[in-house]
Amino acid sequence: MTSITRRLGCLLGVLSLGTSLAHGEAISTINGEEVTILTGTKTEHSTTSIPTNLYQTYTTRITLGTTTGTESSIIASVSGNGTDVALTSASASETSSATLSYLTGTNSHSTSTSNATASSTESPKPVPTNTRPCNNYPEFCDRKYSNITEVGCHNSPFVRANSVAANQQLAVIDQLNDGVRFLQAQIQFTANDSVPHFCHTTCDLLDAGPITEWLTTVKDWVVAHPYDVVTILLGNGNYSTPDFYVPHIEKTGILRYVFTPPVIPMALDDWPTLSHMILTGQRVVMFMDYMANQTAYPWLLDQFSQMWETPFDPVDQNFPCVVQRPPDLPADQAKNRLYLMNHNLNGEANLLGNALSVPDLSRINVTNAAEGFGSLGLAANNCRSDWGRAPNVLNVDYYNMGEYPGSVFEAAAKVNNVTYNRKCCGEEASSADRIEAMLKVPLTLGLMWAAFWTLV
């Protein structure tokens, strides 16, 4: 074993405390504790694994013969920051009046005074748990889905303490509660289970469990938050046809809330406003990166014919805002699609024969900052300058870390021209716990990275 291999094995052993692996394990002791040691070799960053023959193109647009739905009877009344908010199917506005309007799409309209007495043409509806409409910003209600920038969690399900294969520290409920509205996850099939799992590159490295469990959790959150729109991007790690996944997705009940587009592919102006999606109950937008078949499953949107990405697993702190996927996309077509900005700085290692991108947590406070060189905020502004519009998704690792808790949401708010003033991150954790986590993880892993590269 070379000295580089020994150093990397030791590094990954410390990072992999608590991680269960199927192969390539060796149990050793570090500072009196048993840990899993992985052996591997340092590899250079490569993009040779990007498929080149799986990108769908359309010479003409296909009309599905569907609409975005009829207005539902959902009550869209909220109150936030002491200011009443009225949501209609067309717009949302804030008023300091003592009267709060309850709008139920096109079905009915009732009025309540400040003492909470009301007259209504409908029976009472359940009270939602969220208090501000349209993804926490009433200003978004008037905007098209394609004209909003959201924070996204790269590899949302991959949460495991001190694991080299993890990409997030807080679970999906915390992610959603804190304001994340774009969730990305990679699907793999395990050797001994008929249900697909969310796994990082291979289920031997990190298995986050069956997709049905995570999707059910997201669906339950969506049910409890009827004024929010959530987007899910499924990474088809096996390049399987969607009929392998659809029965499992259907079992979760999430299709009750899924958005079905009127045309394929969707251009920027084809997208409805957030208020329309909310009032029609189509509040979950679901993409698949490869092998989507919208003729059979129109609700499972093909990503790359409707959304392009900047370089994934980036290793350059300049974060160039160029199209990587789909390859060779003409600029005029790119300007008429959604786009995702990958902003998760990585190193790369080879583990168990698999190339694995490792989040560079030694610089996470800079990467997830709202401003400055290498920051999320600067990269978003650069993209806006390059393309004439801001990214639709700021895709990050460890969203709860940064210049300060919530700095990723501050960066998104700035390009959205709104004000971010929410608490972050992790409702269940105390302030002291969050501060300790913010300091401990980047410091520890940063020192490990520094030591490794110095020794090499």
Sheet strands (E) in 105-172: 108-112, 118-119, 150-153
For residues 102-133, one letter each, b for 16 or more C-beta atoms within 10 angstroms of the residue's C-beta and e for the rest, the string is: bbbbeeeebebeeeeeeeeeeeeeeebebebb
For residues 263-285, one letter each, b for 16 or more C-beta atoms within 10 angstroms of the residue's C-beta and e for the rest, the string is: ebbbebebbbbbbbbbbbbbbbb
Q: Could you write out the DSSP letters of every residue in 157-226?
A: T-B-TT-TT--BSS-HHHHHHHT--EEEEEEE--TT-SS-EEESSSTTT-EEEEHHHHHHHHHHHHHH-T
User: What gap in Å lies between CA 41 and CA 8, rounded to an integer?
Assistant: 7
Quickly tell me which residue has 């729109």 as its tokens.
229
For 119, the token pair is: 């007259």
Task: Compute how many other C-beta atoms are within 10 angstroms of the C-beta atom of residue 184.
Answer: 22
User: What gap in Å lies between CA 42 and CA 452, rounded to an integer?
Assistant: 11
Q: Which of 419, 414, 315, 328 shows the shortest CA–CA distance to 359?
A: 315
User: What gap in Å lies between CA 400 and CA 433, rounded to an integer?
Assistant: 12
Environment class of residue 164 by beta-carbon count within 10 Å: exposed (0-12), middle (13-18) or buried (19+)?
buried
- Axis-axis angle for helices 3-15, 431-455 (nearest 10): 170
Q: Catalogue the active-site residues.
A: 154, 200
